[in-house]
Amino acid sequence: MKIAQIAPLWEQVPPPRYGGIELIVSLLTDELVHRGHEVTLFASGDSITKASLISFHDKALRLDKSVKEPSVYEQMMLSHVYQNAHQFDIIHSHVGCPALPFAALVKTPTVHTTHGIFTPDNEKLFQFFDEHAYISISEAQREHRLGLNYIHTVYNGIDTSTYPFQDKPSQPAYLAFVGRLSPEKGPQEAIAIAQATGLPLKMAGKIDAVDRDFYEESLAHLIDGDQIQYLGEVSHDQKVELLAEASVTLFPITWREPFGLVMIESMATGTPVVGMALGSVPEVIEHGKTGFVCNSREEMVSAVLEAMKLDRRTCREHVLNRFNVQKMTDEYERAYRMLIEQKK
């Protein structure tokens, strides 16, 4: 099968630190190549892949301060993909709205994975192209009111071999939080939960420019370097160590998270997750076995000590069975074949 994978240009594939979409694109692309498919990856020029790489900028756009209009490079990339659409059996877009008008102009089928959320603006474009083939990354992500042609739900998967299992957390016990330091990710809630339990909290994640004021106003004064520690934006290995040695990972989101990779990353190492019952959380955490799904901050505080008693091997097995890269790729292959057959 000849497959085009279209990645966002904002971040390198795979991302050196933070970048959930780019990590998934990398894992999927390399596994498809491993299975014998002829794959072309459209991504930033500094990307590392087993596929053929085509790029229209030499590095991730976020790293190039001279770029003032990133959409220009995205449009160049999409124009090239769809001018050469006849070379592929299937095109898989991970960039959301920008690919929709292009995909409508060619015979080669495109499948769109909706990695993000719908907004009052972008949902208008999605509805305009509601007949396209869409894949959601959780059932909770779907907005049925939009009437989109969802053909499948494919949960994100990870390469579990890069998340070694740890049967016991480090001592003294601590809580972990990994994610952007933004209001919707709930770092302010994580700090409140840690303060209520009396346990140390180790936080890792990037601070986007748009979240800088939030950090300065709502978080900075609470990070004392003792009970509440901020480690900055960590590497993959540092993240794995942070999660594996934690007693519990907190996922106190305040929005409808489409998936939440950190939950399966944590459980893969054996560390249970206590999360807020929003978005995909009830689909990812097995309540009472791999963590707890809560409806309030108070419930999360109470659940922390209970989560510390859970079997860490069960957490690991949960990810091995449901959220591995092989299973994710199986499901995408199934969707590809279905669309190709429909076009015949």
**CATH code matching the domain that covers 160-322, chosen among 3.40.50.2000, 3.20.20.80, 2.40.170.20, 3.20.20.70:** 3.40.50.2000
Here the tokens at position 74 are 């995205």
Alpha-carbon gap, residue 69 to 71, rounded angstroms:
5
Residue 330 three-state SS: helix
Here the tokens at position 283 are 């689909």
Identical fold, 2-157+324-343 and 160-322: yes
Q: Are 32 and 329 in contact (CB under 8 A)?
A: yes
- Dihedral class, residue 95 (left if φ above 0, else alpha if ψ from -120 to 50, else beta): alpha
**pLDDT at position 105, please?**
95
Report cis status (omega within 30 of 0) of the bond before 70: no
**pLDDT at position 187, please?**
97
What 8-state DSSP symbol labels residue 126? Answer: H
What amino acid occupies position 212? R
Burial letters for 149-171: b for 16+ Cβ neighbours within 10 Å, e otherwise?
ebbbbbbbbbbbeebebbeebee
DSSP annotation string for 200-236 = -EEEE----GGGHHHIIIIIGGG--SSSEEE--S--H
Alpha-carbon gap, residue 294 to 329, rounded angstroms:
31
Residue with tokens 């922390």: 304
Chain center to CA of 182: 15
Q: What is the Cα Rg of the chain in Å?
A: 20
What amino acid occupies position 6? I
Which helix (H) or strand (E) segment holds residue 237: the answer is: helix 236-245
**pLDDT at position 134, please?**
97
Helix, strand, coil percent content, the chain, rounded in steps of 5: 45, 15, 40
β-partners of residue 300 are none
Here the tokens at position 293 are 């799904």
**pLDDT at position 17, please?**
74
Alpha-carbon gap, residue 260 to 239, rounded angstroms:
15
Q: What's the burial of 221, exposed, middle or buried (CB within 10 Å: 0-12/13-18/19+)? A: exposed
Domain positions in the chain are: 2-157+324-343, 160-322
Q: Going residue by residue through the chain, which has 344 residues, state the pLDDT in tens, using 9 for 90 and above.
A: 999 999 999 999 998 877 789 999 999 999 999 999 999 999 999 999 999 999 999 998 888 889 899 999 999 999 999 999 999 999 999 999 999 999 999 999 999 999 988 999 999 999 999 999 999 999 999 999 999 999 999 999 999 999 999 999 999 999 999 999 999 999 999 999 999 999 999 999 999 889 999 999 999 999 999 999 999 999 999 999 999 999 999 999 999 999 999 999 999 999 999 999 999 999 999 999 999 999 999 999 999 999 999 999 999 999 999 999 999 999 999 999 999 998 76
Please give the class, per CATH, of domain 2-157+324-343: alpha beta
Within a 13 Å sphere around the CA of 243, how many CA atoms are in the beta-carbon half?
Answer: 33
Could you tell me the pTM of the whole model? 0.92
Q: Are 294 and 274 in contact (CB under 8 A)?
A: yes
Torsion angle of C-alpha atoms 326, 330, 336, 340, degrees rounded to 10: 140
What 8-state DSSP symbol labels residue 158? Answer: B
Alpha-carbon gap, residue 215 to 221, rounded angstroms:
9
Within a 13 Å sphere around the CA of 170, how many CA atoms are in the beta-carbon half?
Answer: 11
Alpha-carbon gap, residue 276 to 6, rounded angstroms:
32
Residue 157 three-state SS: coil
What amino acid occupies position 79? S
What amino acid occupies position 252? P
